[in-house]
Amino acid sequence: MSRPARQQDYDVIVVGAGPAGCAAAAALAQAGPGLSVLVVDRADFPRDKPCGDGIAHEVTEVLSELEFDVERVFAGAVTVDELALRSPTGVRVRRRMRHQVHVAPRQIFDARLVQEVRRRGIEVRRHPVRAVDVAADGVRLDSLRARVVIGADGAESVVRRGSARPRPGRVALAIRGYAPELPELAGCQFITMTDQHWPAYAWSFPIGDGQANVGYGELLGRRPLSRSDLLTRLHELLPGLQPPSGLRAHRLPLSSGRPPIPDGPVLLAGDAQSMINPFTGEGIFYAVLSGALAGRAAAQALTSGGDAGRLYRAATHRRLGRHLRHTSALARLGGWTALIDAGLRAGREDQRAFDDLVSFGLADGLLTPRLLSRLRFRG
Ligand SMILES: Cc1cc2nc3c(=O)[nH]c(=O)nc-3n(C[C@H](O)[C@H](O)[C@H](O)COP(=O)(O)OP(=O)(O)OC[C@H]3O[C@@H](n4cnc5c(N)ncnc54)[C@H](O)[C@@H]3O)c2cc1C
């Protein structure tokens, strides 16, 4: 008979060492340097993560605040300053962005974040969490126990399911691969939407050496969606594309269907908390920001008192509340393609309206009066 493993106690355990988990660990090191913190991930790093690899400028700002060495993290990554968008009915805009974005394969980007966390003396251990038990004396994760747990374990979060949280309300499915860049899109990030299965879009993001990260995603609905559906639609939207390699599909829990943040010692961050922009599929900015907010809330609860969940909810509301209200409101109208057309026309006519659109889609921007006043609807 095997003996039960000895229980190990920590102040905080972060489950998942992706962008949300690494940001949470760094925030804990900053805000609660005396706390015992363990990060666990079911994978060894480097590991792949199906993603467009597009990393918004604002991610760099959050990582800098958390004292990551951003030059090291992004060393060798491609920078892109042009973005082209095509609406479901064919309205196009192509402009320079106010800030460059990075395109960095997640295999490299995430492994560098983990290295940065380890450099602070925080242990990152391989451990697939299977069971979560929230009890009066702490949160048990298999043979581990913590006073606070941060579930940063992605779209299929075991921590979310184990702590009896509601299922994400709106989920998309996307496939990504790597292929030679289409000549007309060289050096440019491109997102093209379709009215066939709206809301849905394909993308091409350059990764250097003439290659691009390409993919297609759409909202999961009542109809089943197969891998071959996703691939057919990818090739329809990016005609002339050579068959991509490294194809992998993954779910995207959208912020317009995110569950509420309850009181208590279990916090969810990043995809586990359904933090993905419903218009662009952006999730890395939300992941590092929500991870940072969760880490700080946990540190505050354990060093100064208070409920970690309540502190995290209040911090998320302060930092992202207006933005999330605007994205959710627009997502409810998202089936109205005339609105997307009008937004893209506004961006085509005015650089600052375009900057507002980019910030709305890739970071924490709002539907500004400047953008709204430029919307023109055509019969
Ligand atoms: C096809 C596709 C394209 C996308 N393109 C973009 C893009 O271009 N730009 C952008 O900003 N966002 C994009 N996103 C969204 C982005 O990938 C996610 O929002 C982001 O990875 C979320 O980070 P995270 O840390 O929350 O989760 P993840 O990056 O998924 O990390 C979760 C970690 O938890 C670990 N884990 C899972 N279960 C367990 C367990 N039981 N025990 C221990 N560890 C566990 C995993 O191994 C993983 O390392 C895309 C998503 C998809 C699917």
CA of 335 from ligand 1 middle (Å) equals 26
Which numeric CATH code is attached to 171-252?
3.30.70.2450
Single-letter amino acid, residue 343: G
Distance CA 32, CA 35 (A): 6
User: Which ligand 1 atom lies nearest to the CA of residue 213?
Assistant: 8
Nearest Cα residue to 105 out of 7, 9, 30, 207? 207
**Predicted model pTM:** 0.96
Which tokens belong to 151?
A: 């579930």
215 lines ligand 1 (CB under 6 A): yes
* Element holding 139 (H helix, E strand): strand 138-141
| pLDDT tens, residue order, the chain (379 aa) | 455 567 799 999 999 999 999 999 999 999 999 999 999 999 999 999 999 999 999 999 999 999 999 999 999 999 999 999 999 999 999 999 999 999 999 999 999 999 999 999 999 999 999 999 999 999 999 999 999 999 999 999 999 999 988 888 899 999 999 999 999 999 999 999 988 877 799 999 999 999 999 999 999 987 889 999 999 999 999 999 999 999 999 999 999 999 999 999 999 999 999 999 998 999 999 999 999 999 999 999 999 999 999 999 999 999 999 999 999 988 887 667 888 899 999 999 999 999 999 999 999 999 999 889 988 887 5
Distance CA 266, CA 251 (A): 22
Which tokens belong to 71?
A: 């030059």
CATH superfamily of 8-81+98-169+255-331: FAD/NAD(P)-binding domain (3.50.50.60)
CA of 55 from ligand 1 middle (Å) equals 13
CA of 76 from ligand 1 middle (Å) equals 21
281 lines ligand 1 (CB under 6 A): yes
Residue with the smallest CA separation from ligand 1 atom 17 is 51
8: which residues sit within 8 A by CB, 6+ positions away? 38, 143, 144, 145
Longest dimension (CA), the chain: 75
Alpha helices per DSSP H over the chain:
19-31, 57-65, 70-73, 106-119, 158-162, 227-237, 284-304, 308-332, 337-349, 351-362, 369-373
Residue extents of the structural domains in the chain? 8-81+98-169+255-331, 171-252, 335-373
DSSP 8-state secondary structure symbol assigned to residue 163: T
Distance CA 63, CA 27 (A): 10
39 lines ligand 1 (CB under 6 A): no
171-252 matches 8-81+98-169+255-331 in CATH topology: no
